Chain A
Amino acid sequence: MRVGVVTFPGSLDERDAQRGIRLAGGEAVALWHGDHDLQGVDAVVLPGGFSYGDYLRCGAIAARSPIMTEIAAAAGKGLPVLGICNGFQMLTEARLLPGGLIRNEKGSFVCRDQRLRVESTSTQWTNAFEQGEEITIPLKNGEGGYIADAETIKRLEGEGRVTFRYLGYNPNGSIDDIAGVSNERGNVVGLMPHPEHAVEPGFGPDTTAAMRSGIDGLRIFQSALESVLA
């Protein structure tokens, strides 16, 4: 199972995402924003960071880079695509996911271990979870407020396409506490929190068992592996 991770100018977390894929049992393949070549990968991760310095709008310029043409075409045929933070912003800018992300309601950058509820296990990135499971993974963003028009929100909720929801505290003013959404088919998922920072004991969020032992993010990558093997 080969999972591509695209590096854009200003990407920050592509190495962490590659590490998460390896720890989940996959092979990480580095992809480049300026190429038109997906190198035959079985899934793609768009990592977090500040592509193009967040110029114009977060993810806007990266969403129009050469490799995104290939990713959009492959996603249309069912390729699993995960957008994390800036990657989520790119997926909305590329119209592969509905809605948009705006500046946090309180105006400040937020960095915290965030509790989430997995609202849907029918996507290719969440099938290794239990429905309604509560997980904790780090969140770090300045523009993570999810918005969409009322009709779109109603459709997303009705079709079970709200994939993750903030629990306990809404860090950025997202409508309906939405932390992540999927496309209709469930192969494209975007979320603001960073699963790649919760994949290895000793380096994740604190849990009641031990400091930094949280590895809830790992199953997001394992889900994609299971989807492809299934």
Chain B
Amino acid sequence: MPIIVVEVMPKAELLDPQGKAVAGALTRLGKPRYSAVRIGKRFELTVDGPVDDAVLAEVQEIADSLLSNSVIEDVVGITVLDEVAAGAAQ
């Protein structure tokens, strides 16, 4: 079954304490070239049936209304993994 991937990131202008903590850990681990880390979310929606424009439009609506909060986050990507690609990814 196809999988639709929705990626959400905290807004760029907001402080991301989790990312900041990871960046600090990288520095302590002797990897100083990574000056910043930001942490977002990836959702994988398994679709029962084929993915058409109507489904994609619905996922866009779901991404905007439930999976993200536009006050603090942005939806940065919606991509479709077909069955074969999804299988290969696992």
Question: CB within 8 Å of B: which of A156-178?
Answer: 173
How many residues on chain B are close to A (CB under 8 Å)?
12
B-side contacts of A57, CB under 8 Å:
69, 72
Please give me the residue from chain B that is nearest to A173 by CB atom. Answer: B15
Q: List 26 A-B contacts (CB under 8 A).
A: A56-B66, A56-B67, A57-B69, A57-B72, A60-B66, A64-B66, A99-B71, A100-B69, A100-B72, A102-B10, A102-B14, A102-B15, A102-B72, A103-B17, A103-B18, A104-B17, A105-B15, A106-B17, A107-B17, A107-B18, A107-B21, A145-B15, A147-B14, A147-B71, A149-B71, A173-B15
Nearest 8 A/B pairs, CB to CB: A107-B17, A100-B71, A100-B72, A103-B17, A102-B72, A57-B69, A107-B21, A100-B69
Known: A104-B17, A105-B17, A107-B20. A147 touches B72 (CB 8 A): yes
- The docked-state distance in angstroms from the alpha carbon of A107 to that of B69 is 20
B-side contacts of A106, CB under 8 Å:
17
B-side contacts of A93, CB under 8 Å:
69
Distance (Å) between the CB of B24 and the closest chain A CB?
10
A-side contacts of B20, CB under 8 Å:
107
B-side contacts of A103, CB under 8 Å:
17-18
Range, interface on chain A: 20 to 34
Distance (Å) between the CB of A22 and the closest chain B CB?
35
- The docked-state distance in angstroms from the alpha carbon of A100 to that of B14 is 11
- The docked-state distance in angstroms from the alpha carbon of A106 to that of B24 is 13
A-side contacts of B72, CB under 8 Å:
57, 100, 102, 147
A148 touches B71 (CB 8 A): yes
- The docked-state distance in angstroms from the alpha carbon of A44 to that of B88 is 51
Distance (Å) between the CB of A198 and the closest chain B CB?
28
A-side contacts of B18, CB under 8 Å:
103, 107
- The docked-state distance in angstroms from the alpha carbon of A98 to that of B69 is 12
Query: Does A11 belong to the interface (CB within 8 Å)?
Result: no
Interface string of A78-110 (1 = CB under 8 A from B): 000000000000001100001110111111000
Interface string of B16-36 (1 = CB under 8 A from A): 011011000000000000000
Interface string of B70-83 (1 = CB under 8 A from A): 01100000000000
Please give me the residue from chain A that is nearest to B20 by CB atom. Answer: A107
